[in-house]
Chain A
């Protein structure tokens, strides 16, 4: 059974480009904040802060779509209590994909993936492309193809579809493994000073749709 989301503090969470939390509440001077994602059926840690000040924010650098979960703890007297739980769920919400390719043909393929994505997740999708005039009819009432300059209100999650980079830190190699079925790929830069590898977002669009 999934734990229900709730919040007893004033906090704002969004997933526009990456998970972001702002805590605007003075119940505690400092909070304990955890950001998890689902991997192989388990909630594993993406980020944590054990001294998160009140009236501050955090946003992750991880821009890929995951089943995210925020948890915030604080002390009430001597008792350590869970103050907030928020799980990523775009159902019924607005999701934006911004396409950065230079090819209408490639964007056509992406739009069909966006339609598939919309059906799977019952959300409202906006696809931003510089070829929107050419491709706008590929959408439907729930997948709207718009110009890259279009402003979309009330966004729940947004993703840039372009060549991207991913950290392959040894301590978090289970994380990169999500994108590299051959785990050895992540280990190529094992413990490396330049601990970043580039990966093609094209390869990862399927991963966005079929996240765990």
Chain B
């Protein structure tokens, strides 16, 4: 049995993961430790994440047994302590590292890491298709594996030079709508629900990319898409909100249609495979995931929690653990609280610095009543979540019952969210509120949308999309996050609502806050009314 450190790609989404004896013990994104949101071409090495692994587990790149990576890091990014000497550009990268490092490095392909990361955390038994798709891996835009009881068989790779990327189209569209690629794609998903499909734009998209035998074809898709967007810009498609929404809605429909064609072919060719695990940036699109879930091709779908490239760190480590037979079958992971945690002492040190804070002892009834009375409450407990979703440990909680909450939260947090805020719901009540018969495990990680039941739509307007009436619930189980569960349950006892609004604990443009000082800053700046830890309730004097 061994200690495996996983590292992802170096272009963006730096992260690291640690598997010890076949068990995932740590996974975290570098952005949560640097406080700087990952962006395209950021190119940083996960130094802080590796330092944290060393601090918590006394394992580093020198002392671990294996280093699994999705792609080799740019030599200039690798810290000096791992290198022989610097700067000889024409020497093989591997030779430039100390033997203690280079001898145990193993690379796995980008999409293998995505697909294996998804399958082996899906908990799915029997026949499963694992599908990945994103902007680009080293030579592929996506891979498809047939999996059964831990055995995996690659059946198709979307060869990069001749295929298009649905995620790439989405990224360019995000940019043309005035947002940032690899950061604001979710805003386009939210906008899409407000628009109508436009036939002419759909026709244009079809000229950029089309489906053929498990590929999204279109060698020159990106430039053609940009050329089309130039025309649309001249025709003022990106100025008026209504037209912007139509553009987004058309793109959403186009992407859904192409993906469903692929899934239909898989369904036809492999009808025994009724389960689907998904990973890659495209599947951050929770509406797409809903459409896939609603199709009849699969009985259950699962989306990897860190479907973006940060997930490659865990995917690479899992790929190595599988190779070593330390992971033999898909794991059903209970949670993704694998990041950093802080002690009472850490909090005391931080709180000491601020004279204008008042503190009271943690009292679950008091927390529930604060939520019920309409306050914005920051919750900072346990270890930071892995992946892009805040799942209760670094969350902001608000009652879900007010229509104006969206505007209020955006103002307080200086955000420009167009996506509706999402809820956390007690697992026992999920079916009562949402039509979530299938793929509930995915909803434990907030990676899928469901339709809201009619009788609940008007009761919880803050967490239901006002146009399409869907929601992206986080299903909370008592044994997964007991404290969070009990806070919501206590709120239920007061209000009758087994559900709260849950958004990530961060201000506009920041990654999810990991440190106490960041959370305190939110309180001091008036983003939060109260800040809750496992022991205290903080507020301004």
Give me the interface of A with B, judged by CB distance under 8 Å: 30, 32, 34, 36, 39, 42-45, 48-51, 71, 73, 75, 78, 80, 170-171, 173-174, 188-194, 197
Q: How many interface contacts (CB-CB < 8 Å) are there between A and B?
A: 67
B161 contacts A42, C-beta separation under 8 Å: yes
A174 contacts B160, C-beta separation under 8 Å: yes
Q: Which B31-77 residues sit within 8 Å CB-CB of chain A? A: 72, 74, 76
Contact pick for A50, options B159, B200, B223, CB 8 Å: B223
Q: With A32-B227, A49-B223, A193-B76 known to touch, is A44 a contact of B162 (CB < 8 Å)?
A: yes
Most chain A CB inside 10 Å of its own CB: which residue of B74, B161, B200, B226: B161
A30 contacts B230, C-beta separation under 8 Å: yes
Closest residue to B228 on the A side, CB-wise? A80
Q: With A50-B224, A170-B138, A190-B93 known to touch, is A75 a contact of B231 (CB < 8 Å)?
A: yes
Measured CB to CB, the closest approach of chain A to B436, in angstroms, equals 40
Contact pick for B90, options A34, A80, A189, A191, CB 8 Å: A189
Q: Which B489-507 residues sit within 8 Å CB-CB of chain A? A: none
Measured CB to CB, the closest approach of chain A to B534, in angstroms, equals 43
Q: Which residues of B contact A34 (CB under 8 A)?
A: 219-220, 223
Q: Which residues of A contact B162 (CB under 8 A)?
A: 42-44
Q: Is the interface of A mostly helix, strand, loop or mixed?
A: strand
Measured CB to CB, the closest approach of chain B to A85, in angstroms, equals 13
Q: Which residues of B contact A189 (CB under 8 A)?
A: 89-90
Contact pick for B89, options A36, A80, A192, CB 8 Å: A192
Q: Which residues of A contact B76 (CB under 8 A)?
A: 193
Produce 1/0 per residue, B78-93, CB < 8 A to A.
Answer: 0000000000011011
Q: Which residues of A contact B90 (CB under 8 A)?
A: 188-189, 197
A44 contacts B230, C-beta separation under 8 Å: no
Measured CB to CB, the closest approach of chain B to A94, in angstroms, equals 30
Contact pick for A48, options B138, B161, B220, B230, CB 8 Å: B220
Chain B: residues with Cβ within 8 Å of the partner, total of 28
Contact pick for A191, options B74, B92, B224, B227, CB 8 Å: B74
Question: A43–B138 Cα gap in the complex (Å)?
Answer: 19
Question: A44–B217 Cα gap in the complex (Å)?
Answer: 12
Q: Is B204 an interface residue (CB 8 A)?
A: yes
New A-B contacts (13) at CB < 8 Å, excluding given A32-B223, A51-B226? A30-B227, A30-B230, A36-B219, A42-B159, A43-B219, A44-B219, A45-B220, A50-B223, A50-B227, A71-B220, A80-B228, A174-B160, A174-B161
Q: Is B418 an interface residue (CB 8 A)?
A: no
Measured CB to CB, the closest approach of chain B to A36, in angstroms, equals 7
Could you write out 22 A-B pairs with CB less than 8 Å apart? Answer: A30-B227, A30-B230, A32-B223, A39-B161, A42-B159, A42-B161, A44-B161, A44-B162, A45-B161, A45-B219, A50-B223, A51-B227, A73-B227, A78-B200, A80-B207, A80-B224, A173-B138, A173-B139, A188-B92, A190-B72, A192-B89, A193-B76
Q: Is the interface of B mostly helix, strand, loop or mixed?
A: helix
Q: Which residues of B contact A190 (CB under 8 A)?
A: 72, 93
A51 contacts B161, C-beta separation under 8 Å: no
Q: Which residues of B contact A49 (CB under 8 A)?
A: 223
Closest residue to B219 on the A side, CB-wise? A45
Question: A48–B226 Cα gap in the complex (Å)?
Answer: 11
Q: Is B447 an interface residue (CB 8 A)?
A: no
Question: A189–B72 Cα gap in the complex (Å)?
Answer: 11
Question: A106–B535 Cα gap in the complex (Å)?
Answer: 83
Question: A191–B10 Cα gap in the complex (Å)?
Answer: 10
Measured CB to CB, the closest approach of chain B to A179, in angstroms, equals 16
Q: Which B131-158 residues sit within 8 Å CB-CB of chain A? A: 136, 138-139
Most chain A CB inside 10 Å of its own CB: which residue of B92, B200, B219, B220: B220
Q: Which residues of B contact A78 (CB under 8 A)?
A: 200
Measured CB to CB, the closest approach of chain B to A110, in angstroms, equals 28
Closest residue to B162 on the A side, CB-wise? A42
Question: A174–B162 Cα gap in the complex (Å)?
Answer: 11
Measured CB to CB, the closest approach of chain B to A23, in angstroms, equals 14
Question: A57–B136 Cα gap in the complex (Å)?
Answer: 30
Q: With A174-B139, A174-B161, A190-B93 known to touch, is A73 a contact of B224 (CB < 8 Å)?
A: yes
